[in-house]
């Protein structure tokens, strides 16, 4: 069954938006986010302080695309107001592992006694800080912050060892300022 979708998102004060060629630019007091929200079946328009999402005769997939665009816009609004923060914890039980930031790279040395350091390149628009045993990832774009945190966690994935014994690694303990279930 085809339905008509008309969603209106009102921008809070201090946030401006522009939509040109499937690219949505959103700017707040502190941050700025750009995201490609392109789909020819879903129309996005910016009028003053409102963002309008329209779809004339939406099928099931077009409806899913439209509401995904709505969710992305809400994440962008939150991101330009306050950046998304992910917190990771460095756990080293067998070997003293070190984590440093230099030249837009995260460098993990001595993971499980390895001689060659593991290197993760950082994407533009994300800041990473090492504070003792915690790694803080911050970005106004939720997807970039989450992907960077996941890349750091995956770089220290343990393979070919008993995971009950070798629990070394860097693990996400807070996702977008919300504690991860099962973590202290």
**Range from 28-32, 50-54, 81-85, 106-110 carrying the lowest mean pLDDT:** 28-32
Work out the angle between the directed axes of helices 142-155 and 60-81 (0-180°, nearest 10): 90
Give the separation between CA 149 and CA 157, rounded to whole angstroms: 13
* Contact between residue 15 and residue 77 where contact means Cβ atoms under 8 Å apart: yes
Angstrom distance (rounded) from CA 84 to CA 31? 11
> What domains, with CATH codes, occur in the chain?
3-81 (3.90.930.12), 84-179 (3.90.930.12)
At 22-74, the pLDDT tens digits run 899 999 988 899 999 878 888 999 998 999 999 988 889 999 999 999 999 99
């Amino acid at each position: 069954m085809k339905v008509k979708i008309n969603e209106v998102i009102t921008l809070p004060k201090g946030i401006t938006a522009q939509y040109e060629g499937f690219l949505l630019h959103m700017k707040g007091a502190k941050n700025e986010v750009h995201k490609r929200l392109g789909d020819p079946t879903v129309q996005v328009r910016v009028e003053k302080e409102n963002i309008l999402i329209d779809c004339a005769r939406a099928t099931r997939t077009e409806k899913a695309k439209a509401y995904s665009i709505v969710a992305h816009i809400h994440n962008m609004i939150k991101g330009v107001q306050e950046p998304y923060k992910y917190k990771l914890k460095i756990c080293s039980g067998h070997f003293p592992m070190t984590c440093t930031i230099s030249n837009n790279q995260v460098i993990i040395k001595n993971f499980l006694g390895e001689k060659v350091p593991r290197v993760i390149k950082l994407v533009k628009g994300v800041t990473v800080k090492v504070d003792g045993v915690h790694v803080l990832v911050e970005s106004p774009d939720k997807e970039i912050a989450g992907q960077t945190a996941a890349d750091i966690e995956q770089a220290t994935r343990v393979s070919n060892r008993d995971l009950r014994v070798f629990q070394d690694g860097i693990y996400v303990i807070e996702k977008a300022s919300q504690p991860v279930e099962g973590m202290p």
